[in-house]
Chain A
Amino acid sequence: MAMNDVISLLISGLGLAGIYFLLASGLSLIYGLMRVLNLAHGAIFAVGGFVGWAALEYLPVEPDWLRFTAALVLATLAGAMLGILIEKGLLARLYGRPYAQMLLTLGLAFAMTAFLGGWLGHDPLTLKQPAWFDEVTVIAGSRVVNSRLVIVGIALILFLATVVFLRRSKHGLIIRAGVNNRSMVMALGINVSKSFTLLFVIGSGLAGLGGVLAGVFFGSVTPELGTQQLIFAFIVIIVGGLGSLEGTALAALVVAVLQQFVNYYGPPGAGDLVTVLLLAVMLLVRPRGLLGKVAA
């Protein structure tokens, strides 16, 4: 095991962890607060990836780092807009019926993926990343592709921002309390549904942004991007503990780094399989997950 490989794999793993975190955190908190499993979350992630692709392809903005920033902002806005439409327009009609809500989002996921595929095709579309992204930086003697560093940096900032939001803001307080015991919070006369809408919008925005980062990480976007990554997001959520933001972040690190190392040193597909094995072991040893408070 060469030291060079280890550092570059570690940073790749951190980048992938960031992407998993952006997808999984929203999903986990939305479920934790209102018991809505948003299966369209992956499709929003894919839409974000496509918006990012389109912005990088067509937006007449120079220099290229500014265009990339614009792509991130546009994808976040697109995700957030979809979030508002889905929550206010559809899910609110089925309030208090988590099972019907989940199936509705499943239908949306099918329809949105088909829409993307029918419009833009099912073949991977390559992202026009800023030139600097493909260059390498030497860190502790090992060569690391710059795009990985960008992803790690953005994910870290967003993780800290989410933590601050949850710990310092009024809505964050309601969300944390609601995840713990929703009926108690509602009994105190606090309007949980308002905070839920906000959470849904933020979660969808983060997913949209995550889609662009995933496009950068994998080099291209496909309509199926969301569904593929959703499975790893599920694994991250269970391993971390449902409804725990810190648990999700920790589990994203463990799952992504493990996956990167095994994929590099093992036979094809082994890294993906190992994450499922990790999940099985976790369930046997500690069903509530790393930082979960109650059994899932």
Chain B
Amino acid sequence: MKRTAARNVPLAIAVALFAAVPFLSNVSVPLVFDGPLGSLGTMQIIAVGLIFAALAMTFDLLFGYTGLLSFGHTLWFALGLYLPAVLMVGAGAPFGTALLLALAACLLLSLIIGAVALRTSGIAFAMVTMAFAEAFLIFVERNPTKMFGGDEGITVAGSLLPQAVRGVAGIGTVYWIALVLAVTIYLLLRQSVGSRAGHVLQGLKENPLRVELLGLHTYRFRLLSFVLSSMLAVLCGFVYLLVARVAYPGIAGTDFALLIMVMVVFGGTGRLWGAALGGFLYGVANIRLGSMSTAAFGEGLPQWISGPLQEPPLYIGLAVVLMMLFAPEGLAGLIEKASSRLRARLAGSRRGRNSGAAPSGSGGTPGGDGTETALAASGQR
């Protein structure tokens, strides 16, 4: 009981901080945000960060907890934007109907695609999911049905959305929806991975053969995880549509699918809060880096240096390389290491000379090693 309570303290602090944001119209965070925290522009950016945090957690269920590496997770996020947009703009369906129809369609589709893709595992599963996501991108870009907007995407006019989320004033409402989304997905996933089925999923990651020998249908559990994670990503897509008000191909392709993986890895695989941290930081940084003028970077240097310095993916890529070389456990790993060292020091100062014997190091590393073995095992069978 006590552990559960202690576990909820950081969550409560985070929720309180985010809930305070709309009321802090005098507080500004220089460099990070342009306007004060409570301004609509800043709230919109933070809302995007929260949605990406939620999206990253849905990926972590698949990758960090079940050991299923998908290169096409963004398919579900993109469907969450595109299906309601097509239904509303193309077919004239009302908002609520569009969402319900989209949910039903995605449930069916995730069952079918999951059933097909899960006939493989390991790296083949990654390639297959990537192919499906890319197929959707091709479908959207070439636009044979003339309903998916092609390169420009589908803009959803404010009049098609419910009154509460329309226009500039709606941003406040959308912010709360994004916060509720992130917290709900966190709690739901924490509950799921702690449940009996969740333990089976983690067992599947560590040692699939052994789970099978226990008489459990590994295929069904994997499919369950795939469908759950996909449907939650669809929900993230719904909320993102409210913020962006446009369904665009940039979030549909392999590049974005791999970026979701980068968010999770950067934050820390196999820890929901780590994934959320990575997603949030990416969401905020992406918008801010995009709006900052980088033209001054590398001025006076030759073009082959100054040109690349203006490309945000360069920094993301180099950051991932450095992370893998020096801190493969991600930000969460670094934070956990620092906090356990701090705790050891505190305990040590209380106990006097005993500080050397205090527990240190990372202890449980659900992300790193388990996934390694899952990948290796799947290839070697």
Please report the C-alpha to C-alpha distance between residue A97 and residue B368 in the assembled complex, in whole angstroms. 9
Let me know if B144 and A90 touch, CB within 8 A: no
A138 within 8 A of B: no
| Chain B: minimal CB distance from A203 (Å) | 16
- Measured CB to CB, the nearest residue on chain B to A182 is B380
Specify which chain B residues have a CB less than 8 angstroms from the CB of A39 in the assembled complex: 258
Please report the C-alpha to C-alpha distance between residue A5 and residue B309 in the assembled complex, in whole angstroms. 47
Q: When A and B form their complex, which 9 residue pairs have the shortest distance between CB atoms, in order from nearest? A: A107-B320, A269-B142, A111-B317, A110-B317, A118-B308, A296-B124, A118-B307, A114-B311, A114-B314
| Chain B: minimal CB distance from A132 (Å) | 33
Specify which chain B residues have a CB less than 8 angstroms from the CB of A272 in the assembled complex: 135, 138, 142
Let me know if A235 and B142 touch, CB within 8 A: no
B132 within 8 A of A: yes
Specify which chain B residues have a CB less than 8 angstroms from the CB of A114 in the assembled complex: 308, 311-314, 317
Please report the C-alpha to C-alpha distance between residue A113 and residue B313 in the assembled complex, in whole angstroms. 8
Looking at B120, B134, B324, which has the most chain A CB atoms within 10 Å of its CB? B324
A94 within 8 A of B: yes
Of the residues A104, A115, A280, contact of B321 by C-beta under 8 Å: A104
Let me know if A267 and B254 touch, CB within 8 A: no
| Chain A: minimal CB distance from B285 (Å) | 14
- Which secondary structure dominates chain B's binding surface? helix
Specify which chain B residues have a CB less than 8 angstroms from the CB of A35 in the assembled complex: 123, 375-376, 379-380
Known: A111-B321, A268-B142, A269-B144. A287 touches B131 (CB 8 A): no
Interface residue tally on A, bucketed by range: 35 or more
Please report the C-alpha to C-alpha distance between residue A279 and residue B139 in the assembled complex, in whole angstroms. 16
Known: A106-B258, A273-B139. A234 touches B325 (CB 8 A): no
B152 within 8 A of A: no
Known: A106-B258, A118-B308, A119-B307. A269 touches B141 (CB 8 A): yes
Let me know if B318 and A238 touch, CB within 8 A: no
Known: A103-B265, A284-B116. A109 touches B317 (CB 8 A): yes
| Chain B: minimal CB distance from A110 (Å) | 3
B159 within 8 A of A: no
Specify which chain A residues have a CB less than 8 angstroms from the CB of B321 in the assembled complex: 90, 104, 107-108, 111
Residues in chain A within 8 A of chain B (CB atoms):
31, 35, 37, 39, 90, 93-94, 97-101, 103-104, 106-115, 117-120, 227, 230-231, 234-235, 237-238, 242, 267-270, 272-273, 275-276, 279-280, 283-284, 287, 294-296
Let me know if B376 and A98 touch, CB within 8 A: yes
- Measured CB to CB, the nearest residue on chain A to B328 is A100
Known: A99-B375, A287-B120. A111 touches B254 (CB 8 A): no
Known: A98-B375, A295-B381. A37 touches B138 (CB 8 A): no
Let me know if B381 and A294 touch, CB within 8 A: yes
B80 within 8 A of A: no
Please report the C-alpha to C-alpha distance between residue A151 and residue B26 in the assembled complex, in whole angstroms. 65
B303 within 8 A of A: yes
Known: A276-B132, A296-B122. A111 touches B313 (CB 8 A): yes
